[in-house]
């Protein structure tokens, strides 16, 4: 399912807007960006095997690990358009996967583990 960059970015904005207010008010020093595809280094660092796709990536220090320290540069959540599009067969599925990916990466920002994300249905 292929869409323009503008439409895909709208899907990301809609997903962010759907984040519960209690989380939004605690977000700071984090940027959400869209990239076409992950780099080879990002794929390797994520530990993905052959045939696995990287839809999103959180790069930063989770809030639960910061203590009084706030990094000088923003944490970055990257949402990868091409792998998401390649993994979806319909516009509705793409919207849903974008939302799920945004929520998954924001959860990492807030310190949720992969196991906790599985339990929440965001694995």
Tens-place pLDDT, residues 30-74: 899 999 999 999 999 999 888 899 999 999 888 887 766 666 678
Cα 107-110-116 angle, rounded to 5 deg: 50
Name, in order, each residue with C-beta under 8 angstroms of 39's C-beta and a sequence gap of 6 or more. none
Question: What kind of fold does domain 5-119 have according to CATH?
Answer: Zincin-like (3.30.2010)
Under 8 Å between Cβ of 106 and 15: no
Tokens of residue 110, six digits = 């807030």
Under 8 Å between Cβ of 37 and 80: yes
Q: Which pLDDT score, from 0 to 100, does residue 35 have?
A: 98
Could you tell me the pTM of the whole model? 0.89
Q: What are the φ/ψ torsions at residue 39 (nearest 5 degrees)? A: -75, 165
């Amino acid at each position: 399912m292929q869409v323009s960059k503008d439409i895909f970015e709208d899907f990301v904005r809609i997903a962010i807007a759907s984040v519960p207010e209690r989380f939004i008010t605690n977000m700071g020093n984090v940027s959400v960006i869209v990239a076409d595809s992950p780099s080879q280094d990002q794929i390797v660092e994520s530990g993905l095997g052959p045939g696995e796709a990287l839809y999103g990536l959180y790069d930063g220090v989770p809030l639960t690990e910061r203590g009084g320290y706030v990094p000088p540069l923003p944490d970055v959540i990257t949402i990868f358009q091409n792998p998401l599009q390649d993994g979806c067969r319909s516009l509705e599925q793409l919207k849903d996967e974008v939302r799920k990916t945004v929520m998954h990466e924001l959860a990492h920002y807030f310190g949720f583990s992969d196991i906790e994300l599985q339990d929440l249905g965001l694995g």
